[in-house]
């Protein structure tokens, strides 16, 4: 009896989802992916997130100590990679991105 109740609840939920998706005119996932792949020239959301991360990393970069040898070595590495950031800012940016990914992963579990 409990199994039938669970199956009925799942079927009802899926049916209501599809009805609401039709009423709200939500496109299918394949359609969304196709549209996103065509218009990949403008990544507005990723640019916004990137701008916020760079702004925060500039502020945090001022607090990160780095000895002279590591700083010069990282400056040369960043210059050869054509990245226009200071070593402290780049390190803070990398740490913020890693911390953000870690937060997202911890939320999924």
* 60 and 9 in a common domain: no
Please tell me the distance from the alpha carbon of residue 37 to that of residue 45, in angstroms, as a whole number: 15
* 21 and 56 in a common domain: no
Confidence (pLDDT) at 42: 54
Contacts of 98 (CB under 8 A, 6+ apart): none
Let me know: does 64 contact 88? Beta carbons within 8 Å: yes
The parent domain of residue 62 ranges over: 43-109
DSSP state for residue 106 in the 8-state scheme: H
Confidence (pLDDT) at 44: 61
Cβ atoms within 10 Å of 44's Cβ, excluding its own: 7
Total domain count for the chain? 2
Confidence (pLDDT) at 108: 67
Cβ atoms within 10 Å of 89's Cβ, excluding its own: 20
Quote the tokens at residue 57.
């990393």
Quote the tokens at residue 33.
């992916």
Segment-wise mean pLDDT, segments of 10 residues, the chain, 109 residues? 92 91 75 60 65 86 91 94 91 92 80
* 48 and 33 in a common domain: no
* 64 and 21 in a common domain: no
Confidence (pLDDT) at 37: 61
Confidence (pLDDT) at 67: 92
């Amino acid at each position: 009896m409990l199994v039938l109740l669970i199956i009925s609840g799942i079927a009802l939920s899926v049916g209501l989802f599809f009805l609401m998706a039709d009423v709200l005119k939500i496109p299918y996932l394949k359609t969304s992916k196709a549209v996103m792949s065509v218009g990949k020239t403008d990544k507005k959301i990723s640019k916004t997130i990137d701008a916020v991360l760079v702004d925060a990393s500039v502020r945090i970069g001022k607090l990160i100590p780095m000895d002279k040898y590591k700083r010069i070595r990282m400056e040369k590495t960043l210059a050869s990679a054509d990245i226009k950031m200071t070593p402290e800012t780049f390190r803070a940016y990398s740490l913020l991105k890693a911390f953000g990914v870690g937060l997202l992963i911890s939320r999924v579990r």
